[in-house]
Structure 1
Amino acid sequence: MTMSRICVSFAIFLFVFLSKCYGEEYNLSGEAGQAYAIEINVGHPHQKLSVLVDTGSTTLAIASYARQDSDIYFQSKNSSSIYDSAKEVQAKYSQGMWVGRLVTDFIQFPSLPSVPEVRSDIALITKSHKFFMNGSGWQGLLGLAYLPVGAWGENVIVESWLDSLDRMLNKPMSFKLKLCGAHSAYNATHIGSFKMLEDDPITNPNTMFRTTILRKRWYEVGVISIRLIPSNASNTITNNTTFKQLTTDSDAKGGFSEVNQETCTKLNDEKSIVDSGTTNIRLPDLLFRQVVDELRNAAQASNVLILDEVWYHGEAACWPEPQEWSLPWLAVDLLNDDNDRQYFTLELPPQNYMRVVTARNSSEHSGSVSEFCYKLGLEAGGKETVLGYTAMEGFEVLFNRSAGWIGFQTSNCGPNARISGPYNFSRSLVTYCQLTRPVIDTAISIKAAQWALCVVSIIAGGVLVYLLAPCVKMMLVKQMPSSPQISLSQAALFEQESA
């Protein structure tokens, strides 16, 4: 039995055990740093695979060949229901890429009995580079974002599994992620749940805070600030030179009397997204350095020795005992969906961003755990801001794709994260932070672009006829042979309409 099979078997055993203990069905799992995966059945007869739940991409893509670290993959020749288009598609990610061929086949979720089996586009990965992690227990990913960030190929549009489900049910579906993080300091395997919802029920008695999806590509949101707050306070900024000290007023009720415009503009300069397929919280380079400098100083003040390789280079720090962190909390301020002059705050304890990566026996013999290792859940992201699953653990996160918002609630599992707000601001945060205004659905946008192209073509054609009228008038005096013709512009427009 290969190491990957052993890991998968252990994860399944852990799911069953935890479900019995807590009376709740957890259908997501993952090893340290490998996001959360769910089991699916592909084709007829069913072939059982594990795929990452990824809100940072769109396409359902699975391996179709054995890899050095895993012999589990989808064998297309064994499916009687597959349809192969013979078209090549590909996708590139912030880390890794793949190339494959586009097929359609049936997809079923064993852990979601209320979700019907549906025929969906699938990219069968035929080759990849830095895409599959060594020792990973998954064979692909389930993209849950919008059409514009799907895989691409020549003269082909790859429909997502979610769009196929919406089309089959003839109604839009929402989904909810509850990510619990590592079960304990003694086991780095993390668990969670993925649910599909027909509407927007609020099952958690706590208040749900909603932030607007600014653009329906990735799940782009408005990040107003990312800052540190003391561990014994709620939404009170620390006194430092990293972020401007802001005075609380009666309107803010615990928030800011003003927002640092330069900071919120930089956070959203390229894009700021909620991405369950990314592990860490990524910040623009300069802001990353500033936040980590302050965390490093706080650790030193608490007499916790952590090397710079951990803070700035993603290395692991290990201790003989599990750590009880007394570091500051991380506050993530998000634009409020109900009012663009308001924001709310996700308050993340150190257990969110000091990630358990392994609990191992350094002697390589069976017995008690002798080493507990952690990694920083923050990293530099160039100009991007990415709220990876590190920022989602401890919350229930509802993605309402059709209404265009993401809802956050505190969870009954995972780190003891909090939500506070909403807080008022004196002007529109969309304008002040130069956020992209909400746009209409992708399908409507494409149709509008097609009509715009049609109008431009008609105007251009009218101008051309006007300019060429004298020449045409002269040519009409000559007899011209008739011949069958087709308008290439009309043919192109028809193809766009069909697409």
Structure 2
Amino acid sequence: MFTIRLCYFFLLFILNKSCCEEYNLYGEAGQAYALGINVGRPEQKLSVLVDTGSTTLAIASYARKDSNKYFRTENSTTIYNSGKEVRAKYSQGTWVGQLASDIVRFPSLKLIPEVRCDIALITKSHKFFMNGSGWQGLLGLAYLPVGAWGENVVVGSWLDSVEKVLNKPMSFKLKLCGVESLTNATHYGKFEMLDDSMASTSSDTMFRTPILRKRWYEVGVLSIRMSNHTNKSLNASLKSFDNNLTMDDTDNHYRDTCIKLNKEKSIVDSGTTNIRLPDSIFREVVNELRSAAQSSNILILDEFWYHGEAACWPEPQEWSLPSIAIDLLSTDADNQYFTLEIPPQNFMRVITAHNNSGESGSVSEYCYKLGLEAGGNETVLGYTAMEGLQVLFNRSAGWIGWLPSDCGPKARITGPHNFSMSLSLLCQLIKPVPDVAVSIKAAQWTLCAISIIAAAVLVYLLAPCIKMFFVRPLPRSQQISLSQAALVEQEAT
């Protein structure tokens, strides 16, 4: 009997291991998603944010007021510190540090070997680390041009080091699941690395958007609106423009919105919490959300909608607000797009969830913040737009794939939707911004031109010396006698 029970236990254990997915991303409310990392020899265990909005692996190397956990450089026998200063500036916060290299390993990435790579050792920061944050740095996953900088310093990325060791390009996938429940503000997810060949042969249910410029992950955001909005959809609103007819005010508004969304840049950034919109579009979307809340008899102060203040209730909220629709340019054709439908569970973000029992009875408080914010002229799809989805980043092929997920909020993807003219042209997505290779070539030509000019100036300055070297001088005695005779004659007169 005991043997049967033991076999039954092991069977349940094996089934549990095979059926339950292992998640390696965790985070507290508003702190993005962190991944465990081991650095140096002996290994020091830390946590870093997974950030597609930057490139550098940066780790704190000093104790902060709110945390005494950091990378202790004096304890690593494999570290090489160049002593060169590097720095970085983000939309929120800055840091200064030193460029070093050491052995790096991510325990949850079983198929990725440990590598020696560049690390920015943060020695001073301002508004970078959040109070009580459970992470000590960030893992930048973008392209090299948006890495940390310094004088005569190029800071390599962890991804580039991995690709060099494996001798092949790699993709990565983020599966962000959001909070565990209505009563828990901790969120979780999964980060995994894929061979580019595997990424390219992924499921047919994937929708792909092109990376327009390989700096950040810049994409073409065509429209952001309420999904049950009574106005025209993107396809309908641009129909008259497509047929070369006279556009009315509504049509002009949608085209202008498309241009505004991409005026500065539109990026996919897992290191940013909210969906950040150009100021005028932010006000427009929030006004519609506020009206929908009022129609549903949900009373929320304007400070919540427009100023980022929290709103709290004694019970967790089941939101009945409409979803937000985000239209993205498709890689399949320049006249195609697909739509991400982001449910209210994403952008009505729970930040605290308390249910405490004391002598005075039960005290409950569930606080929420709006997952939208004004961003000046830029558009940023933070992790609020990614939760409930799987997002695959194929760096070498230059596209981002979006798939439905089996965890998190019930986000949807619809499409593809066809349009009979170029959306890149309509939304002015084709900008005269040089790619990395073009920039390098331009810099080489500039350096060549400067070298030619410098050589010409040098030849001009040295011309008298060169002339004296090649012109045969007169006999020394004749030179002296002639000059003396002329001087005497001049004095005599």
Other structure's SS at 1:312 match: helix
8 Å Cα contact 2:352/2:367 also seen in 1? yes
1:219 equivalent in alignment to 2:210: no
Question: In structure 2, what is the equivalent of residue 7 of structure 1?
Answer: none
Other structure's SS at 2:198 match: coil
8 Å Cα contact 1:267/1:383 also seen in 2? yes
* 1:238 Cα deviation after fit: 2.4
* 1:439 Cα deviation after fit: 7.7
Question: In structure 2, what is the equivalent of residue 81 of structure 1?
Answer: 78
8 Å Cα contact 2:238/2:255 also seen in 1? no
Task: State the number of aligned residues.
Answer: 448
Cα RMSD for the two superposed structures: 3.1
1:196 equivalent in alignment to 2:193: yes
8 Å Cα contact 2:223/2:234 also seen in 1? no
Q: Which has the larger radius of gyration?
A: 2
Q: 1:77 to 1:309 in 2, by over 3 A?
A: same
TM (normalized to structure 2)? 0.84
Other structure's SS at 2:48 match: strand
8 Å Cα contact 2:357/2:363 also seen in 1? no
Moved more, 124-133 or 362-371: 362-371
**Counterpart selection for 2:315 from 297, 316, 321:** 321
8 Å Cα contact 1:257/1:425 also seen in 2? no
Query: Cα deviation per residue 1:447-491 (whole Å; 9 max; x = unaligned)?
Result: 4224432564577689x69xx99x99887542279xxxxxxxxxx
5 Å-filtered alignment, 1:14-413, equals 23-201=20-198, 207-230=205-228, 237-239=229-231, 246=237, 260-361=254-355, 370-413=364-407
Q: Which amino acid aligns with 1:213?
A: I
Q: Which amino acid aligns with 1:109?
A: F
* 1:213 Cα deviation after fit: 0.6
Q: Which amino acid aligns with 2:171?
A: S
Q: Which amino acid aligns with 2:81?
A: D
* 1:90 Cα deviation after fit: 0.7
**How far, CA to CA, are the matches of 2:359 and 2:69 in structure 1?**
29
8 Å Cα contact 1:394/1:416 also seen in 2? yes
Other structure's SS at 2:288 match: helix
Question: In structure 2, what is the equivalent of residue 445 of structure 1?
Answer: 438
In structure 1, stretches of 5+ residues that fail to align are 1-18, 231-236, 482-499
Moved more, 205-214 or 305-314: 205-214
Other structure's SS at 2:84 match: strand
Query: Cα deviation per residue 1:16-55 (whole Å; 9 max; x = unaligned)?
Result: xxx9696001000000000000000000110000000000
* 1:317 Cα deviation after fit: 1.2
Q: Which amino acid aligns with 1:418?
A: R
Q: 1:262 to 1:376 in 2, by over 3 A?
A: same
Question: In structure 1, what is the equivalent of residue 486 of structure 2?
Answer: none
Query: Cα deviation per residue 1:260-317 (whole Å; 9 max; x = unaligned)?
Result: 2200110011111000000000000011001000100000001111111110111111
Q: Which amino acid aligns with 2:112?
A: V
Other structure's SS at 1:167 match: helix
**How far, CA to CA, are the matches of 1:167 and 1:221 in structure 2?**
27
Question: In structure 1, what is the equivalent of residue 247 of structure 2?
Answer: none
Q: 1:73 to 1:446 in 2, by over 3 A?
A: same
Other structure's SS at 2:469 match: coil
Other structure's SS at 1:197 match: strand
**How far, CA to CA, are the matches of 1:337 and 1:438 in structure 2?**
20
Question: In structure 2, what is the equivalent of residue 5 of structure 1?
Answer: none
Q: 1:33 to 1:76 in 2, by over 3 A?
A: same
Other structure's SS at 1:81 match: coil
8 Å Cα contact 1:325/1:351 also seen in 2? yes
* 1:166 Cα deviation after fit: 1.2
1:436 equivalent in alignment to 2:426: no
**How far, CA to CA, are the matches of 1:438 and 1:28 in structure 2?**
37
**How far, CA to CA, are the matches of 1:458 and 1:140 in structure 2?**
41
8 Å Cα contact 2:223/2:257 also seen in 1? yes
In structure 2, stretches of 5+ residues that fail to align are 1-15, 244-249, 472-493
Question: Which structure has greater helix proportion?
Answer: 2
**How far, CA to CA, are the matches of 1:435 and 1:247 in structure 2?**
16
* 1:65 Cα deviation after fit: 1.0
Other structure's SS at 1:220 match: coil
**How far, CA to CA, are the matches of 2:170 and 2:135 in structure 1?**
25
Query: Cα deviation per residue 1:411-456 (whole Å; 9 max; x = unaligned)?
Result: 00011011111112222111111113598863x3354224432564
8 Å Cα contact 2:174/2:391 also seen in 1? yes
**How far, CA to CA, are the matches of 2:177 and 2:307 in structure 1?**
26
**How far, CA to CA, are the matches of 1:91 and 1:266 in structure 2?**
27
8 Å Cα contact 2:277/2:374 also seen in 1? yes
Query: Cα deviation per residue 1:194-220 (whole Å; 9 max; x = unaligned)?
Result: 000112536975610111111111111
Q: 1:475 to 1:123 in 2, by over 3 A?
A: closer
Other structure's SS at 2:196 match: coil
* 1:348 Cα deviation after fit: 0.7
**How far, CA to CA, are the matches of 1:131 and 1:472 in structure 2?**
54
**How far, CA to CA, are the matches of 1:298 and 1:21 in structure 2?**
44
Q: Which amino acid aligns with 1:190?
A: H
Identity in percent: 67
**How far, CA to CA, are the matches of 2:292 and 2:258 in structure 1?**
24
Q: 1:25 to 1:360 in 2, by over 3 A?
A: same
**How far, CA to CA, are the matches of 1:259 and 1:22 in structure 2?**
49
* 1:67 Cα deviation after fit: 1.0
* 1:363 Cα deviation after fit: 6.5
TM (normalized to structure 1)? 0.83
Q: 1:200 to 1:81 in 2, by over 3 A?
A: same
Q: 1:480 to 1:143 in 2, by over 3 A?
A: farther
* 1:171 Cα deviation after fit: 1.3
**How far, CA to CA, are the matches of 1:38 and 1:281 in structure 2?**
22
**How far, CA to CA, are the matches of 1:330 and 1:305 in structure 2?**
20
Q: 1:244 to 1:379 in 2, by over 3 A?
A: farther
Q: Which amino acid aligns with 2:55?
A: T
Question: In structure 1, what is the equivalent of residue 469 of structure 2?
Answer: 479
